[in-house]
Structure 1
Amino acid sequence: MNITFLGTGTSQGIPVIGCQCNVCASLDFRNKRLRSSIHIEMDQKSFVIDTGPDFRAQMLREGISQLDAVIYTHEHKDHTAGLDDIRPFNFMQKKDMPIYGTRPVLEQIKREFSYVFSSKKYPGVPQVITHEIQNKPFDVHEVTFTPIEVLHYKLPVFGYRIKDFTYITDAKYISKKEMDKIRGSKTLVLNALQISEHISHLTLAEALEIIEEIKPEKAYLTHISHKLGCHQEIEKELPNNVFLAHDGLKISLE
């Protein structure tokens, strides 16, 4: 399994133009974060979790020419707004794109992209096949995804486990039942928005507490705002098995 972090940032805490904080003024590419998303390559299949507003730029940057399905975590625009840009894959692959999400996610997509689902479609609109999912394992092209339901304030959000890899974003609370689904993961990706308390996102300290409980071989932090601090400064303070992810980071898993 090959993982590429398409984006590791967030719309939360985006600075005003001209911000001169250490992160925003940094020339270190690791501090330039687009909206959070990952690409998974496995068994000759290609999946993306979430298509945020930066989806097109992310896919072009990584040179990804095959996409077999999109899986959504939740309905917020910073995770869905790039759906229109699946069109090149429709054209190249000559087939509709399967998209997977809970009922609220699919309902939001149908509202926001109503032209995609119109009975009289404009030529060239995205072609999708919707698949409603629930909090139980489901297969996408023979790859099993196990949802991990977390709370983003009061909004249910799905993280996903694929074999020994777990990806969770936009979490603030994870129940014991859902934590049990994560246990045994060798690689864990978890959101860590900032240092100070936040109503709907894990802080750095809260994320590290969960990682300490799960004890994966490696953990990566994502969905990072500029308020967390500079990559090089924060990462050197982390435990040996915990890393700040950055846009374009690639990891290979057995």
Structure 2
Amino acid sequence: MDQLIFLGTGDAMGVPRVYCDCEVCTEARKTGLNRRLRSSVRIESREGNFTIDCGPDWRVQMEGEGQRHMQQLLVTHAHFDHIGGLPEWADACRWLGSKGNMYAPAEVLEQINGQFPWLGRQLDMHSIDEGFILAGWHIRGWKVNHGKNGFSYAYRMEKGTFAWAYCSDSIGLNDQEKELLHGLDLLVLGTSFYHETAAYETRSVYDMLEAQELLAEIKPVQTIFTHMSHDVDLKAGYPLADGITLAHRGMKVPLGG
């Protein structure tokens, strides 16, 4: 059976924050329960493996999983916490003499090439605006609101009768952006806070209270929250609706019945 592995579950800054002595950051330094690398997942299948996003913690994530090479990558958007590891991946491909394959919408590839114009020497870049198949998964991507940070892409993946979606960076989705989130067996959704008090116009990701309003509308069978800041304590026991789980590094989830 295919499975989903959480390589990182943190927001853009990760946990602990280097400057912070809050309870969550202190615990993360001591026992590691709340230690969070930048958000990324790997999908393992008999038909191949692929990773979603390649942030600045990519090397640590690979070492932690005992992995020496990554062949296929799907990118949600061109923010540093999602692409900061690309130069290291490209360098690994150079040393191994094996080009990697990176998949993203055309506008995301354009932004990445603007930041790292040399990557094309080691990575084959594939535009996926029309949808595609990867490791047997039929994948459709669409642009979602990322608040003050512009936009990201979410991905809906289907194989057989199982459908799931990865939506790490979004807020205030409109009806069109929600359309492909209906009828899901699993939704992986970014929620940086349990309840964020900053002014709405300054924000970029759902909090858990807002996310539960979204879930009541789209009704996935199971939901996993990721992309969590140091405001979120895995020991806290937040009042969450049935079917919601908080992700942690190394968490493995079956994709299918």
The TM-score bracket by the shorter chain reads: 0.7 to 0.9
Shift of 1:116: 3.0
Q: Check if 1:149 corresponds to 2:149.
A: no
Give the TM-score, by structure 1 length. 0.86
Give the structure 1 partner of residue 124 of structure 2. 129
Aligned residues: 242
SS in 2 for 1:181: helix
Shift of 1:144: 1.7
Deviates more, 1:182-191 or 1:152-161: 152-161
In structure 2, what residue type is equivalent to 1:246? H
Aligned ranges for residues 188-203 of structure 1 at < 5 Å?
A: 188-194=187-193, 195-197=195-197, 198=200, 199-203=203-207
Shift of 1:78: 0.8
Question: Does the 8 A contact of 2:16 with 2:36 survive in 1?
Answer: no
Aligned ranges for residues 53-132 of structure 1 at < 5 Å?
A: 53-65=56-68, 67-86=70-89, 87-89=91-93, 91-92=95-96, 94-117=97-120, 127-132=122-127
Q: Which runs of 5 or more residues in structure 1 are unaligned? A: 118-125
Deviates more, 1:55-64 or 1:17-26: 17-26
Aligned ranges for residues 1-254 of structure 1 at < 5 Å?
A: 1-11=2-12, 17-26=18-27, 27-65=30-68, 67-86=70-89, 87-89=91-93, 91-92=95-96, 94-117=97-120, 127-134=122-129, 136-140=130-134, 142-153=136-147, 155-163=150-158, 164-194=163-193, 195-197=195-197, 198=200, 199-227=203-231, 229-233=232-236, 235-254=237-256
SS in 1 for 2:92: helix
Question: Does the 8 A contact of 1:165 with 1:185 survive in 2?
Answer: yes
Give the structure 2 partner of residue 123 of structure 1. none
Shift of 1:59: 1.2
Question: Does the 8 A contact of 1:4 with 1:250 survive in 2?
Answer: yes
Give the Cα–Cα distance (whole angstroms) in 2 for the partners of residues 212 and 65 of structure 1: 41
Which whole-Å deviations, capped at 9, do the CAs of 1:139-162 have from their partners, x for residues lacking one? 235432111421101622111111
Question: Does the 8 A contact of 1:149 with 1:159 survive in 2?
Answer: yes
Give the Cα–Cα distance (whole angstroms) in 2 for the partners of residues 72 and 66 of structure 1: 17
In structure 1, what residue type is equivalent to 2:44? E
Q: 1:211 to 1:29 in 2, by over 3 A?
A: farther
In structure 1, what residue type is equivalent to 2:216? E
Indicate the RMSD between aligned Cα atoms, in angstroms: 2.2
Question: Does the 8 A contact of 1:65 with 1:89 survive in 2?
Answer: no
Q: Which runs of 5 or more residues in structure 2 are unaligned? A: none
Question: Does the 8 A contact of 1:3 with 1:41 survive in 2?
Answer: yes
Question: Does the 8 A contact of 1:75 with 1:104 survive in 2?
Answer: no
Shift of 1:247: 1.3
In structure 1, what residue type is equivalent to 2:255? L
